[in-house]
């Protein structure tokens, strides 16, 4: 039986990293700025250049700031405006997440952003990992017809959260894509895929350059791709 090909999404925060990710064999990009803050909305210039220079799908982060995922009315207006601007470029989709103060999905605002984003694809990012009840949140996002959830299984890394990721995949019943992300590398990617039976996986595959800057490594992406698509079942 032919093994299913696992899609690898590279988390990148620059044009240089985007090009390296494509060279390494990434299937899709999540483009953001300031990964040290967990990723925020990238500049229009970065979005434009990346879309011109790569030929794989680009998902753009819509997040006005680092920190929590409960946004003021002003911040929500920023998010809506950023989505409108992003739609001017050749992007595949957007990535966002909004919660209420009680740790539930902000369904009303999420629905508004989904409608505004159409026809782009939607990923609900790791704000999911801060929800009070992951299965309640899963059902809410399925009902909102979100395409994908990025999650570390509510742990510091996807490897530590693998049990919950397994359960989410089972309970999703293919109504939504569960994509593990957080601390994924060439050493643990295959085990995460095998145990959870996911179809997509997310990682930054970064390395430190001589000048001390962190950037995406094409070689590390190749190794992750080899691990997840050359694994034994």
Between CA 161 and CA 135 the distance in angstroms is: 14
Provide the pLDDT for residue 121: 98
The pTM of this model reads 0.95
Whether 60 is covered by a domain: the verdict is yes
Provide the pLDDT for residue 3: 65
Whether 108 is covered by a domain: the verdict is yes
Number of separate domains in the chain: 1
Provide the pLDDT for residue 213: 79
CATH code for position 25? 3.20.20.380
Whether 1 is covered by a domain: the verdict is no
Whether 61 is covered by a domain: the verdict is yes
Whether 176 is covered by a domain: the verdict is yes
Whether 57 is covered by a domain: the verdict is yes
- Count Cβ atoms within 10 A of the Cβ of residue 68 and give its class: 0-12 exposed, 13-18 middle, 19 or more buried: exposed
Q: Which residues of the chain have pLDDT under 50?
A: 1-2, 232-233
Mean residue pLDDT of the chain comes to 95
**Tokens representing residue 30 in the block:** 């999540």
Domain that holds residue 101: 7-229
- Count Cβ atoms within 10 A of the Cβ of residue 174 and give its class: 0-12 exposed, 13-18 middle, 19 or more buried: exposed
Whether 139 is covered by a domain: the verdict is yes
Whether 2 is covered by a domain: the verdict is no
**Alpha helix ranges (H) inside 38-185:** 44-53, 73-86, 107-117, 134-143, 162-172
Tokens 């539930």 -> residue: 104
């Amino acid at each position: 039986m032919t093994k299913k090909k696992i899609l690898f999404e590279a988390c990148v925060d620059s044009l240089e990293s985007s090009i390296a990710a494509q060279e390494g064999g990434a299937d899709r990009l999540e483009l953001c700025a300031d990964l040290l803050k967990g990723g925020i909305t990238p500049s229009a210039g970065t979005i434009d250049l990346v879309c011109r220079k790569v030929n794989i799908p680009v998902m753009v982060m819509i997040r006005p700031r680092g920190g929590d995922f409960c946004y003021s009315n002003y911040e929500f207006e920023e998010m809506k405006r950023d989505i409108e601007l992003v739609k001017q470029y050749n992007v595949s989709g957007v990535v966002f997440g909004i919660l209420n103060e009680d740790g539930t999905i902000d369904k009303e605002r999420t629905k508004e952003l989904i409608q505004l984003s159409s026809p782009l694809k939607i990923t609900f990012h790791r704000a999911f990992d801060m929800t009070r009840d992951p299965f309640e949140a899963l059902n809410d996002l399925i009902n909102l017809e979100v395409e994908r959830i990025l999650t570390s299984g509510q742990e510091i890394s996807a490897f530590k959260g693998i049990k919950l990721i397994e359960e989410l995949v089972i309970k999703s019943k293919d109504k939504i894509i569960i994509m593990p992300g957080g601390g994924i590398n060439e050493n643990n990617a295959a085990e995460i895929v095998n145990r959870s039976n996911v179809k997509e996986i997310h990682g930054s595959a970064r390395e430190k350059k001589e000048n001390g800057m962190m950037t995406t490594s094409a070689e590390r992406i190749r190794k992750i791709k080899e691990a997840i698509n050359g694994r034994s079942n």
